[in-house]
Structure 1
Amino acid sequence: MKILQRYFAVSIFQAVAFVLAAFLGLLAFMDLTGELPTVGKNGYGLQHAALYVLAMIPQHVYEVMPVASLIGTIYTMAQFASTSEFTIMRASSMSTRMAAGMLFKIGIVLVVITFIFGELIAPRAAPWAEKIRLTGRGTTVSAEFRSGLWTKDIIKSQGTKGEVLGTRFFNTREVRPDGELRDVKLYEFDNSFRLRSLIVAKSGVFQGNNVWRLNDVTESIFTNPALLASGGQATAQNNFAQETSAVEIKHYDSKDLISEITPKILSVASS
């Protein structure tokens, strides 16, 4: 029986590993294809995409292991039947209960492997993968401040596309379990790192498609008259004259904000 048990286990594990490798290769290819459109933008290189794909493998192992185990086991048993090996085993006094017991033991091992990837490895690898993606794209996240959660975003002319207009620092004091943000502050700087806007909102709710709905909003817009008069060209006298800028304050019941920061990114940062 020990020889049969070992033979069953080796044959099934080999088949499962082959199917699992095929699935992982396909999923890795799909992940890499999804990252390629952003490669070369904002410092996001091919090495960042490759690291992201590698870091997502444990999560994919957890996702496809049950299917790979089923396919690998069925394939192995079909091979035993097609070569009459299973018939010979039955003729050698192996009962159906004994065969089921051997398959059960193999299944327990596969369950343990799936548990290790799903509960121990993937929860640590997935946040690392997201941080690699954010860091490579010029977006950083930090939750280690008393003032709450901080993120760095890129301001573009067409929301998430187009010309880079500046940098946005996104701060929220609390991220609730339902994804709602409380006490939101947005500091927007131009490409010369001059503060151009300060947005304070009581709360924020994600609407999908990279849109946040901010509620009870106060927006302070800083403009430099000297820069406007010179067509946006800074001079030696006004290059750092932020304190002489005009301030325009606006109030909104609600305001939509387009940002690459999503609830998934914030949940990764706060984990």
Structure 2
Amino acid sequence: MWNRIFPLIYERYLAKQIYLSFIFILIALVSLFVFFDFIAEVNDTNNTYTFLLAFATVIFKIPSRIVEIMPIAALIGAIYVCANLAAQSEYTILRVAGLQPIKALQTLIKVAIPIAIATLVMSEFVGPIAETISKNIRVSALNAGIEKLDFKSGAWIKDKRRDEDGNGKIKEGTRYINVGSFENTSGVKGFRMYEFDEKNRLINIRIANSVTFINANQWQLNNVTETHFKETNDANRLDPSFNTEIKKSPSEIITTEVNPQLLGVLLIKPDRMSLLDLFSYINHLRDNKQDYQRYAIAFWKKLIYPFTVLVMLALALPFAYLQTRSGGIGYKVFGGIMLGISFQLFNSLFSHLGLLAEWPSLVSAITPATIYFILALIGISWVSKT
């Protein structure tokens, strides 16, 4: 398998050196982040949230950290290898033997593909699962399993209106669901539902102390208070009159388009979500005519992000053409670190610019990688001629 992917001797040599450097740097950077994450968690420890639970919380965050670090670790590792080859004149020998820049770039792209696939797997499958476990450990220890929301008003999500009993076919109008806090995946606390008809008139308010998820589309409301509004005189729109009916019940079952996964999305940063969850939430926002630009940009960034490893290794190739027989490797590695940090900052900057300027989400996500890849090609062309 190894010989099939890298059939030439110099390809196997480069791949081995880059992978070893990449793994070493990845372990070093992850260890550094784990240390700082643990220091941050220690501040919240108490009788229930012990040091062991805090450490477990940090450990399950590692896959997400690995995803964040992989492209930078690949860049630093590749720069170190290329600079080392240049310092020892090994790359000069390869050039004399007929290694053209385009062939070297193709080799680095082949080296990058397994790292990109590993990044995609970690980002899509391992990372979200581990992030959920980490959050559940922390929430269970600190808040008795209740996830408190950042906003005082709780979380708001738009839904489709149904009959007066909360079931039946979808009708014209809108529902707005408000929840105060989450109890892991079993239900929510502090539930409110506001229903508006096709003329945007408030017709019903449901308030429940708690909600239990029966299945993906059915919720059981507990200790429910319903307030129905019926307009009795619409002749004067400036002075309408209403009849109000209040109804209380111990429990009530409603049908909704909002499933627990969609509610869970409100607790997770878009870049930590899986592509499937992002796609599902984007469709929900689009169906309800809500702004989904932020999540669309996050979707495309997450899809493109693993392949930025290819860009990072392309950026490392020009360093092989800079001849430094004595020293200089440290400066190149430092330059690689700065290059990687600048890419991350530029990537975040374009996300915000895309939101402000309302650019197409794909353009906002792919522009930074495209610009840096063009810079890599310009750098390779320039140094290969000097």
Fold match, TM over 0.5?
Answer: yes
Matched, 1:4 2:10: yes
Deviation at 1:9, TM superposition (A): 0.5
Match of 2:306 in 1: none
Root mean square deviation, CA, Å? 3.7
Using the alignment, how far apart are the partners of 1:266 and 1:80 within structure 2?
41
1:92 maps to amino acid? A
8 Å CA contact retained: 1:201, 1:217: yes
Deviation at 1:29, TM superposition (A): 1.0
* 1:190-205 paired onto structure 2 within 5 Å: 201-202=192-193
Higher relative contact order (CA 8 A, sep 6+): 2
8 Å CA contact retained: 1:44, 1:138: no
* 1:31-70 paired onto structure 2 within 5 Å: 31-41=37-47, 43-70=48-75
- The answer for unaligned runs of 5 or more in structure 2 is 1-6, 149-153, 160-174, 182-188, 195-204, 210-264, 278-386
CA 1:266–1:61 in 2, change beyond 3 Å: closer, same or farther? closer
8 Å CA contact retained: 2:60, 2:133: yes
* 1:64-79 paired onto structure 2 within 5 Å: 64-79=69-84
* 1:142-157 paired onto structure 2 within 5 Å: 151=146
CA 1:116–1:219 in 2, change beyond 3 Å: closer, same or farther? closer
Deviation at 1:139, TM superposition (A): 2.5
1:38 maps to amino acid? D
Match of 1:98 in 2: 103
Using structure 2 for the length normalisation, give the TM-score. Answer: 0.40
8 Å CA contact retained: 2:38, 2:58: yes
Q: 1:117 aligns with which of 97, 119, 122?
A: 122
CA 1:99–1:39 in 2, change beyond 3 Å: closer, same or farther? same
CA 1:35–1:185 in 2, change beyond 3 Å: closer, same or farther? closer
2:10 maps to amino acid? L
In the TM superposition, what whole-angstrom CA distance separates every residue of 1:29-72 from its partner, at most 9, and x where no partner exists? 1110110011124x001111111111001001111111111111
Deviation at 1:152, TM superposition (A): 6.9
Deviation at 1:97, TM superposition (A): 2.2
CA 1:135–1:127 in 2, change beyond 3 Å: closer, same or farther? same
CA 1:107–1:46 in 2, change beyond 3 Å: closer, same or farther? same
Greater helix content: 2
Match of 2:377 in 1: none
CA 1:50–1:95 in 2, change beyond 3 Å: closer, same or farther? same
2:102 maps to amino acid? R
In the TM superposition, what whole-angstrom CA distance separates every residue of 1:115-159 from its partner, at most 9, and x where no partner exists? 11111110111111100111121421xxxxxxxxxx377xxxxxx
Number of equivalent positions: 176
Greater strand content: 1
Matched, 1:137 2:142: yes
Q: 2:267 aligns with which of 251, 264, 268?
A: 264
Match of 2:168 in 1: none
Using structure 1 for the length normalisation, give the TM-score. Answer: 0.55
- The answer for unaligned runs of 5 or more in structure 1 is 141-150, 154-170, 187-197, 204-215, 221-261
Deviation at 1:77, TM superposition (A): 0.3
Match of 1:30 in 2: 36
Percent identity between the aligned chains? 26
Using the alignment, how far apart are the partners of 1:219 and 1:49 within structure 2?
34
